[in-house]
Structure 1
Amino acid sequence: MTKLSVNINKLATLRNSRGGNVPNLVKSAQDIEGFGAQGITVHPRPDERHIKYQDAHDLAKIVTTEFNIEGNPIPKFVDLVLATKPTQVTLVPDAEDAITSNAGWDTKKHRSFLVDVIQTFKSAGIRTSIFVDPNKTMVEGAAETGTDRIELYTESYAKAYAEGNHNGIKPFTEAAEVAQKVGLGINAGHDLSLDNIKFFKDHIPGLLEVSIGHALICESIYLGLENVINMYIHRLQ
């Protein structure tokens, strides 16, 4: 089945809004794993407006499934990943002031930079993934960097699906087929939800992992965190 990695950025946002340590991210991550999730994802940004760098250090000590750290590989981020040694690092080209990730890498233009960064992480035994748009050329470019996986940026699919346009899946299916041909593992994330996840999973060959945060936490407000995690797992089987 496709693994579910829960992005806990929104829990950190809630904590930070009042100060203190409620909700406790370490306890939350342990509970999320206990409810059945197969991974924990964090995306620390330079201003630490949700996940703090110390959170990554704390979580690295207790996550027993897969720990995935996402972010733009600026020097501070690279140092954090090398110090915490997560299962996977996902490279995302987001600007420092971005509200959320909004584009994948141009793997052709930034090939040399990505090759160097990926080699640094792989030398430390960390699995690497590159955030990319569903573009066959960008997928082929990703393969040239030495990365282990790609993460398909799924906002356009989610928007099309919400509008009743199921053809929005086609670029993602085609990109996944190219990824399989060039030997890349396939992850996906961004705006995936209980409504659209099963259709996506059913049409993406070789989908290994999805990272879901915003929708999952919003859905949990109404349905409960444990219940929602198991609803996702059921759809991903």
Structure 2
Amino acid sequence: MAPDTADVMLGEDGLARPAWAAFDPLMRDYYDQEWGLPVRDEQGLYERICLEGFQAGLSWATILRKRPAFRQAFSGFNPEAVAAFTDADVERLMQDPGIVRNRAKILATIKNARATLALRAEGGLVDFVWQFQPVATPRPMVHADIPTQSVESIALSKALRKKGFSFVGPTTMFALMEAIGMVDTHLLGSHRRGSSGIWPDAAQPSSNTGQPPATAR
């Protein structure tokens, strides 16, 4: 990998990526093929919310490596199946070495499944979350330009909590918004900048956003 001038790394394939996606093949594939692309189906969005919650206090690489085990443990993140989990399921999951064995996060995943089902009466989880899409997206030149939360992520966090969701803090929800394409925080020098289809002008040059600095994802 060779450093570029805009806080990205040039890979052997000639593509520019942020440092967090430049070395680990799993993280690189996730960045190239998935991160920042729109997620507009209930099951996929429910899974992302839960995995972002499991990440709290951990690295995303840890969660990504465990994702196959998470999917097996939580019935493919089918909210109807997870909503029916019992205390016995909780104890089973607490003994599963393939996932993050945190009781509060496991209980939150079940609680979030039930809240997802309840939202169907109000138009569904997808419409509920996507109503918080901002009118503009950050335009980071370097990683320090990327915020860790926003007015919209704070509002989304509060709204989801009112609907019964857990582990949906403002920083976690901003990470969700990044992951599902609601905001484009690909660095301007990245080969993925503007690739979501949601922000057609996102790749055009611009001045610094003035957003507060972020820590590494």
TM over 0.5: no
Larger radius of gyration: 2
TM-score, normalised on structure 2?
0.33
Task: Return the structure number with greater relative CO, CA threshold 8 A, min gap 6.
Answer: 2
